[in-house]
Structure formats: structure tokens, C-alpha cells
Amino acid sequence: VTANDTLAVVPDLANIYDEPFADSSQIPTLLLSRFARKSVKVVLSGDGGDELFAGYNRHLLAASYLPRLEQQPLWLRRLGANVLNNLPPAFLDRLGSLAGIRQAGEKSRKLSAILPLAEDFGATYDCLTCQGLGSGETLLADPDDSFYRAADPSSPDFDFLDQMLLRDTKTYLPGDILVKLDRASMSVGLEARVPLLDHRLYELAWTLPNSLKAAGGAGKIALRRILGRHLPSSLFDGKPKMGFAVPLDTWLTGPLRTWAEDLLAPESLKRNGFLDAKRCLQMWQDHKSGRCKRHHTLWNLLMLLSWLVGRRGA
């Protein structure tokens, strides 16, 4: 996916999703849907595999490390968080690249946030899934998270991994992953089917022990074993998970800069009323100057503003 590809679809995103949907992997999903539609009318998607069989990095944390962190004294966890917070993300990225660790700066930021919260599942989950702003930060002039808290599906009877899988399947999967796929594919008349979400497979997944989901630093153990019957394990074991991430941080200061600055004009921010215009503009300046990477939060903001512009135009 190139910057020019992105420029061609970004103006259409708010209209296609019909809401301020801000998962940036919507871009390659839409481009792939358009490419596939040239040849076929129906495709199969692997959506649901990560949420049912523990395929995300946060699931590996929940299975192996969070229970251990919870046992450590709070003062020690706070000390570790302070050390990580004082290390520049760019330095950690360079250090991580030498060790083969992608996005080390971003991962260390999340780790520093969850260290003091290890025994609080809800707060830990929020930190692991939050992109951009830290705990307690908001761009709203009058924030209210009561609705989100009331919708929390976690259960105190589950361990860390089961709680995480439950919340993913009840919130992240239907509210992000499936929305992203359905609207991107249907915008071009492409039917995308999700065989891993067959109700029988869904029910079976919840009967499996966690040792068949995440263990030994690897996720989706059951699926790996099944695949190993048909393909050499060297093709998938030990390979880093690759999502549909795009280089938003550089695109926003490069080919998408004019589009972003038009939406972030002070008069546009003030017109909406519910945004803290001063804080939004400061975040944009921080990102442009390289002082702090804010691309994830900026993308959320830009998709909201783009959608609002479309609504006013309608």
C-alpha cells in the first residue's frame, strides 16, 4: 500500500463507513476488497481467529506475564514504569530493531502504563488496547465514559486470558473488526464470509483449555497444530504476527498533511463545540515537530472531523 493509494481512498472513508470509524487498517482492507472484486464476488476472511484462539500480543501477556506482574509489589512495578517512561520512544525503537522487536517504543509505553495496574483487569485492558492518549487524557471538552463502563462484559470468575478473550469477542470483534470488513467489502459489492465464526466453532473454542490457545510465547496453538498437519511448521512457527498496519506517523506529515491540516483548522475545531481545540492543535504540533508520536489519536480525530464535514455537507 503506497501513500498515493491512501490519498485515493481517504476522502471516501467517512462516507463508506457512515460513522467516525478510525481503525487505520480500514485503508488496506478497502484496497484489498477493491482488488479482489475485480475477479470474484465472494471471499473468505480469517476474522475471529485471533479473538477466539488468542492471537494477539495482549493474549500472550494475559497468559504468561500479567499473573506474574500481579504478584510483584506495587513499589517495584511503579519503579519499572518510571524507568520506561524516562526512555525516549525513538531510542527504544532503535534498540528494539537491533533485537528484532517491532514498535518497541509503543510497546514499552503500554508496558509502563499497565505495570502499576496489573491487578485491575479493566484498566489493564484499556491500556493494552488504547492507541495514543494515556490514562485520564481526552480531547473532549466534557468527557463521560459511563456508557463504556456500563457495557463492560468481563467476569470476575475468569482468569486474565479468558477475561480478555471475552471482552474482545463482545466488543472489539463486533464493534471494530467485523464492521471494518463488512463495510469495506460491501462498498464494492463483495461478500466476505467468516467461517471461523460459525456458531459451532465459536462454542467449541470456549470449551478448549487455555493451553491450546496461548502458551510458550505463541498464540492460536490449536490452529497451529491443525495447520501443521498440512504444512511444514517452519512456515508459521516463530514468525512475528503481521497485521494491516500502515505508516500513519509519516503519512500524516507527508502526503496526508494538507488533508489533515484542512480538517484541523482552528475554526473547524471550534465549530464542533465538544472538542478541546487548544489540546487538539497542540497534539498536531507535537506530532509534526517529531516531539511525540500522536498518529493513532490524530487518526481518530481526523476520522471524526471528516465524518462531521460529510454530515454538514449532506
Q: What pLDDT was estimated at residue 24?
A: 93
Q: What pLDDT was estimated at residue 70?
A: 80
- Location of C-alpha cell 475554526: 267
**Euclidean distance between CA atoms 182 and 185, whole angstroms:** 5
* pLDDT score of 143 more than 90: no
User: Which amino acid, one-letter code, is at 225?
Assistant: R
- Location of C-alpha cell 488496547: 129
pLDDT one-digit tens code per residue, 169-178: 999 999 999 9
Please state the length of the chain. Answer: 314
**Euclidean distance between CA atoms 14 and 28, whole angstroms:** 15
Least confident range of 11-25, 80-94, 188-202, 256-270: 80-94
Q: What pLDDT was estimated at residue 222?
A: 96
Least confident range of 68-82, 131-145, 181-195, 261-275: 131-145
In contact, 308 and 271? CB cutoff 8 Å = no
Q: What pLDDT was estimated at residue 132?
A: 56
* pLDDT score of 134 more than 70: no
149 vs 242 pLDDT, higher one: 242
* pLDDT score of 146 more than 80: no
Least confident range of 9-18, 83-92, 244-253: 83-92
Q: What pLDDT was estimated at residue 205?
A: 97
Work out the pLDDT band at 168, boundaries 50, 70, 90: very high
Instruction: Report the share of the chain in percent with pLDDT over 70.
Output: 90
Q: What pLDDT was estimated at residue 152?
A: 57
**Euclidean distance between CA atoms 15 and 199, whole angstroms:** 32
Q: How far is CA 281 from CA 137, 173, 188, 284, in A?
A: 15, 32, 35, 5
Instruction: Report the share of the chain in percent with pLDDT over 90.
Output: 46
* pLDDT score of 229 more than 90: yes
Q: Which three cell numbers stand for residue 259?
A: 488533508
Q: What pLDDT was estimated at residue 314?
A: 44
In contact, 49 and 195? CB cutoff 8 Å = no
Least confident range of 129-133, 194-198, 202-206, 267-271: 129-133
Strand partners, 215: 218
Q: What pLDDT was estimated at residue 92?
A: 81
Q: What pLDDT was estimated at residue 64?
A: 84
The model carries a pTM of: 0.83
Work out the pLDDT band at 7, boundaries 50, 70, 90: confident
Q: Mean per-residue pLDDT for 71-83?
A: 87
* pLDDT score of 220 more than 70: yes
Q: What pLDDT was estimated at residue 121?
A: 75
In contact, 54 and 63? CB cutoff 8 Å = yes
Q: Mean per-residue pLDDT for 241-259?
A: 87
Q: Average pLDDT of the chain?
A: 86
Q: Mean per-residue pLDDT for 107-132?
A: 76
pLDDT one-digit tens code per residue, 23-53: 999 999 999 999 999 999 999 999 999 999 9
Is residue 43 helix, strand or coil?
Answer: strand
